[in-house]
Amino acid sequence: MGEGLQAAGRRSLVDVAIEQLREQLAAGVWPVGSQIPTEHELAERLQVGRNTVREAIRVLVHSGMLVSRQGEGTFVRSTSDPASVLHGVQRSDVRDVLEVRAALEAEAARLAAVRHTPEDIARMRTALAREAEVMAAHPERAGREATVEHDLEFHTAVVEAAHNPALTEVYRYFGASVRESMRAAFGDHEMPEIAIDTHAALVDAIESGDPERAEAACRTLLAEPTAAVEQLLAAIAARK
C-alpha cells in the first residue's frame, strides 16, 4: 500500500481508506484471526491522518470484517464484507431471493426432523392455527396481507427447530427480503395464496423424525408459492 491514496473526486478520504483496507483484507494480506497494523502504521502506509484510519476501522468493525479487543488491538474477523453481500441480495429480484430462502428452509426442515423438541412442534402448530383463523375471518384476503405475519412466524419456527443459530440468522434476513421483494413486485393484493394443508403436512413430517420426508414436504410446500411467483412475473412481463 506504499502508493498512498489516489484522488477520488467527491469521495472522502475515509471512503477511500475503507476501500483500500477492504481490498487488502479480501486479498488475505492479514489472515482471519490475525492482528492488523496499528493506526499509526496504517496512517503511514495509506498516507492519511490517524483520525481517517480510525474512522475507516470503525466502519469495518461495524460491517463485521474487523473486531476490536480493548487493550489488545484490532483483529481480522472476516476477509469478505457481509455488507457487500447483503447489498447484493437487495439488488436481486424476487425469484432469486425466493430460491435461496427455499434452499435454506429445505435444509432446516431436514435438521428439524432430527433435532426438534416438543415445544418446537407446538410452536409450529400454534402459528399454523393462527393462520387458519385469520384466513377464515378474512376469506377475501386469504393467504395475502392478513396472514403474512403468521406465515412468517410459522416458517421461522420451522427453521429455529433446526437449532442452528447461524442458519436462523441467515434465514431471518432472507425471509424479510422475500417478503419485501414480493410486496415491491406484486403488491399485497397479488401475494400468492397460502395452503394450510401443505403447511400441516410439513409439521407432521418433521414430527415423524424422517429427514427425507421433512425435506420433501418442505419442497412441496414451497413449490406452490414459487409457481405462483413465476406466473405473476410472467404476467407482469407480458403487460410491459
* Per-position DSSP letters for 72-131, written without gaps between them: TEEEE--SS-HHHHHHHHHTS-HHHHHHHHHHHHHHHHHHHHHH--HHHHHHHHHHHHHH
Higher pLDDT, 38 or 70: 38
For 142-154, how does the pLDDT look when each residue is reduced to its tens digit (9 = 90+)?
Answer: 445 556 677 888 9
Tell me the chain's radius of gyration from C-alpha atoms. 23
Using a 10 angstrom Cβ sphere, with 0-12 exposed, 13-18 middle and 19 or more buried, the burial of residue 239 is exposed
> What is this structure's pTM?
0.63
Query: Which pLDDT belongs to residue 1?
Result: 43
Enumerate domains of the chain plus CATH numbers. Answer: 13-80 (1.10.10.10), 92-239 (1.20.120.530)
- The answer to whether residue 3 scores a pLDDT higher than 60 is no
Lowest mean pLDDT among 47-51, 116-120, 121-125, 199-203: 47-51
The residue count of the chain comes to 240
Instruction: Work out the mean pLDDT of the chain and round it to a whole number.
Output: 81
